[in-house]
Amino acid sequence: MNCWPLFLICLITLSSLPTHAGVRAGAAEQEITPKTGLEIQHYFRKSIGVRDPLFVRCLYLEDASGNAVAIVGLDLIMASFETCDELRAEIREKCGVQHTLLNFSHTHASAALGPRGRSTVSNDEDSRWNDRTLDSIIAVVAAARKQAEPVSLRAGRADVQVGFNRRLVNTGNGHIFMGVNRKGPTVPWVNVLVADSLRTSKTIAVLFEHAAHPVIAPHTSKLTSADFPGAAGKRIREVLGNDVITVFGQGCGGNINGFPLRSTHERADEAGRRLGEASLKAIESSKRITARTLSIKSTTVTLPSASLPGRELLAEMMDLEKNNAKRMKQLRQIEKLIKQGEQPPGRRFDAHAVMLGSEWCLTAMPHEMFCQYELWIDKHAPFRNTMTFAFTNGYEGYVAVDEALALGARGGYEAGRLPNWGGQVYTRHLGPPAVGVEKIVKAALSSLWPSLSDSEKSN
C-alpha cells in the first residue's frame, strides 16, 4: 500500500485542526462558609448562622507559551504571608500553576485563613474549617485550569462609589479620627475584565475590582456575610446568567469604608447591587484585548518601620501605662529593641503584575494600601486599562502614604505612632511604616511595567 496519500491526508487534517495561539481561560467556585458556632471577625464573635454564603472563586488565564496565572478571590478577611506562601506552593505542586494571586475581599463578617494545621483560632472545629477551605481553594484552581478554553478578553471601567474616605482631621488638635470624609480621596470606579468563550461566545467569567472596606454589614450581627462584594457578584449573575463566575478583587481600600458603616445587611445588599449595576455598565462598554501573550512579573522589597520613640518618652509612657498589661507588653518590646540598638522589623512588600501587552495590567500587592496608591497606578501605569489589587498574597496591616505617616503621633488609626496607640503599635512592627515608604512602593510597582521614565516613577 502506498502510504503517501495517507500521510498527506494526515497532514491536511492536522493543519486544519483549530489551533489557538491566544489566551485561554477557565473559572470555578466553591462555597467556603464556616458553619454556625465558628469564630467570625472583625470584631470577633461566634457565628449563629449564614446571612449570605462565602465563596472562593478563581479565574485562570494561560497563553500558548505556558505563562499562566490563577487569580483567586476569597470572601475572607485576610491571611498572613506565611499562609499565602504555603498555599501558593501547594497550588504550584498540586495544580502545576506557577503564579497565584490570592485576593482577600476583607469582609468583616467572615474569617481569617491560617496555615494548614494551624488555624488562626485554636479550636478543632475552626481548624477543620480552615484546612477544608485550603483544600477548596486548591480544588477551585485545579478545576479552573482544567476547564481552560480559548477566550476573547475585554476590559472596561464604570463610575461607582460604595464608600467614602474614612480619615477626618480634628481641627482642634490636628489628630486624624475615623469618620465619613466625603471630600477625601477614593477610587470612584469599578474595573472589569471579561472572558468570553470563543467556542460558545458566552461569558465564562467576570473579574471585577473596587476599593472599599466591606464593613456595611453590622458587627453586631452574628451572621456570616460576604458584604457588598457578594451582593455585587449576585447582581452581575442575575443579568449574565448563573454559570458566569464572578471573581471580586479588593483594591487599595485601606482608608475607605463602605457606606453606611456597620449599618444593616440590607444596606450592604444595596451597595453591592449598585456596584453590580456599575460592573454591568463597564462590561457593556468594555473594549476587546487583542494581546495574545501574558507577561507575569513579581518583585519583593522591605518597607522600613517608623523609628521607635526616644528613651525619655518611653520612660514617661511606661509610668503612665504601668497598670495596662497589653500596652506594657508592647512598651517592653520597644525597650528591649532600644537597649539592643535595633529598629522594629520592616514589612514585606511583594508586588505582582499580570500584563496583556500594553492593553491591560493587573497590579497586585499585599496589605491594606491607601487608595492614593491605586490612583497613582491609574495615572502612571503605561496600559490602556488597569486593575489594582491590595490585600493579596499576604498581610501586615496598613500602608499609608507619606503625607499621612508624616503626621507622626497625630496620624490616626492607620498611620499614627506613639505616644498615641493606633492599631499598628500592637503589631510586631510596633508602629506604622516609616515616612519614605511611598517612594519604595512606587518604585517596586513601576519596576514591573515596561519603560517608565525615572521622573514618572517617583511622581
User: Using CB under 5 A as the criterion, which residues of the chain lie in contact with Zn ion when the complex forms?
Assistant: 368
The Cα 19–Cα 150 span in angstroms is 9
Work out how close the CB of 88 gets to Zn ion at its nearest, in angstroms, rounded to a whole number.
22
DSSP calls for 33-68:
PPPTTSEEBTTTEE--EESS--EEEEEEEE-TTS-E
2, containing H or E segment: none
The Cα 175–Cα 177 span in angstroms is 6
Work out how close the CB of 213 gets to Zn ion at its nearest, in angstroms, rounded to a whole number.
5
Residue 11: CB atoms within 10 A of its CB come to: 10
CB closer to Zn ion out of 42 and 273:
42
Q: Would you give the DSSP letter of residue 5?
A: H
Work out how close the CB of 397 gets to Zn ion at its nearest, in angstroms, rounded to a whole number.
9
The Cα 395–Cα 118 span in angstroms is 17
Work out how close the CB of 163 gets to Zn ion at its nearest, in angstroms, rounded to a whole number.
12
- The one-letter amino acid code at 445 reads L
Contact 332, 430 (CB under 8 A): no
CB closer to Zn ion out of 34 and 253:
253
CB closer to Zn ion out of 52 and 368:
368
Work out how close the CB of 172 gets to Zn ion at its nearest, in angstroms, rounded to a whole number.
27
CB closer to Zn ion out of 75 and 368:
368
User: CB-hemisphere CA count at 13 Å for 282?
Assistant: 27
Q: In whole angstroms, what separates CA 234 from the centre of its chain?
A: 19
334 contact partners, CB below 8 Å, separation of at least 6? 308, 309, 314, 344, 418, 430
Cα→Cα distances 260→182, 214, 231, 374, Å: 12, 10, 15, 23
CB closer to Zn ion out of 213 and 417:
213
The Cα 304–Cα 292 span in angstroms is 39
Contact 72, 101 (CB under 8 A): yes
Work out how close the CB of 106 gets to Zn ion at its nearest, in angstroms, rounded to a whole number.
6
CB closer to Zn ion out of 209 and 368:
368
Work out how close the CB of 366 gets to Zn ion at its nearest, in angstroms, rounded to a whole number.
13
CB closer to Zn ion out of 269 and 368:
368
Nearest residue to the partner Zn ion, using Cβ: 368
CA dihedral 146, 152, 158, 164 (to 10 degrees): 20
CB closer to Zn ion out of 368 and 378:
368
Report the chain's C-alpha Rg in angstroms. 23
Work out how close the CB of 250 gets to Zn ion at its nearest, in angstroms, rounded to a whole number.
10
